[in-house]
Amino acid sequence: MTANLPNPPGSSSQPNNRDIAPQLRNLLIVLVAIALSVSLFIGLRTETTTASLNDIAENSTPLEVALNNGKPTLMEFYANWCTSCQTMAPTLESLRTDYGDRLNFVMLNVDNSKWLPEMLEYRVDGIPHFIFLGADGQAIGSAIGEIPRSVMAENLTALVDGVTLPHAQATGQVSTVKAAIEQPRQNSSDPRSHGAQVVN
């Protein structure tokens, strides 16, 4: 049986600072790991299902189909970089859910030069720019910028019913579209530049 002997001289019953530092560091690492795991878990569980502009565009009706299928159309000029367009995306997706069986939803990206003729026709200089087309494909109203859902819904209901739009010229906060056309250059020494009017 061993006897309890007093601590030898120079030793202490309390741990010294060299023993505590690694324990504190390990405890801190464990706490940070737990916090990150909880944050990741909560973040994944609360992930929104709101569609992005690309998702909405992929599910939209092609312009050629919309102009020929006999349904009224809501056409939106947008860009992925446009914060106002991003703000309107959940509203647009909600409206598409409510009205999609009765009218076409068309998305035209202003960064695609393919839509330049339409941008010029409808004088698009700010986005989002919404054009309301009757069943015959003719424009009967427009809305520019961040428009409240109630205003858009009233316009879409009128569009489906074939009556005058209550808010035919609504406006809200917009993102400015950079000019896609520049004037022809005069006295250019580059012979290939004479036809370059569209800026890429």
Active site (catalytic) residues: 82, 85
Q: Would you give the DSSP letter of residue 27?
A: H
With residue 133 as reference, give the H or E element that holds it: strand 129-133
Q: Would you give the DSSP letter of residue 54?
A: H
Q: Cα(76)–Cα(92) distance, rounded to whole angstroms?
A: 10
Displacement of CA 38 from its chain's centroid (Å): 28
Please name the amino acid found at residue 136: D
Among residues 95, 118, 114, 90, which one has the least CA distance to residue 105? 95
Tokens at 152, concatenated: 């858009």
Report whether 70 contacts 102 (CB < 8 A).
no
